[in-house]
Amino acid sequence: MTDFKKVLLLSACAIALGMVGTGNSLAQERDRIVRTTGSSQPTNLPAPPRSTEIVKTGSSRPTLTNSVEVVKPKVDAAYEPPTNKAAAGATRMSVAAMVAAGKARYGSMTSSLLDQGIRSRYGLRYKYGSMGPYTYDCSAFVWAAFGDAGMKFTRTSARGMWAMSEPVYGDERFKFGTLVFLNGFGHMGIVADENGFYHASSSKGITYSPFKGYWEKRIVGFGKLKVAEPAQ
């Protein structure tokens, strides 16, 4: 009986010791929980910018507040017009040969100066109403080229030059220096020969164009200026 009591006493002691161990373990687990107070947001974020700081975003540029001034390039007084090699190559026999063959409207000196006046303007741009020196419309080109040849007259429209001209027919139409009128007297040029003429084209500038094709259906007349030719 005494041994049985001893066994019960030892069992009771073991149970008591187990409960104490369990309590200590729970206490240790509870100690691992870190309690925090206040906001649950991370505490390592950078401080927000001050109200006086400028926050830069992207690569936007500052707004332009100054007025923009466009500076036009100055034109050199020694300006050389571009050379239209295609038009130059289209030129037929020399002026002297045309004069000798009776294929020029005027004498040798006037025809030569007229030819030079035409060639010096090859490639210059067309501009309606412009009288040069770097842009021309069709009637201004004719006026300027004849002016270089010493045949001075008041600049006027293509229709006005038709009124200043005497109509010509047959082979007379294709002499160098004859005027050709086109598009209902809205356009004009200077005859080179039976194949084509010189003019200020709205799309190509001052150039040579053949009669055949586009222009032959638009011709309304040929004429020679009623302006005295300078003495040779």
Please report the pLDDT score of residue 43 as a whole number: 53
Token pair for 3? 């041994």
Name the nearest CA neighbour of 152 among 223, 225, 227, 232.
Answer: 227
What distance separates the 2 farthest-apart alpha carbons in the chain?
A: 168
Per-block average pLDDT, block size 10, for the chain (232 residues)? 57 54 49 50 55 48 50 38 47 83 95 96 95 96 97 95 96 97 97 96 95 96 94 82
- By the 10 Å C-beta count (0-12 exposed, 13-18 middle, 19+ buried), 120 is classed as middle
Please report the pLDDT score of residue 231 as a whole number: 86
- What's phi and psi for 209, nearest 5 deg? -130, 140
User: CATH homologous superfamily of domain 85-225?
Assistant: endopeptidase domain like (from Nostoc punctiforme) (3.90.1720.10)
Please report the pLDDT score of residue 81 as a whole number: 44
- What's phi and psi for 199, nearest 5 deg? -165, 170
- Give CA–CA dist 164/153, Å, rounded: 10
- Give CA–CA dist 97/82, Å, rounded: 27
Please report the pLDDT score of residue 27 as a whole number: 46
Please report the pLDDT score of residue 93 as a whole number: 79
Parse the chain into domains and list their residue ranges.
Answer: 85-225
pTM over 0.75, yes/no: no
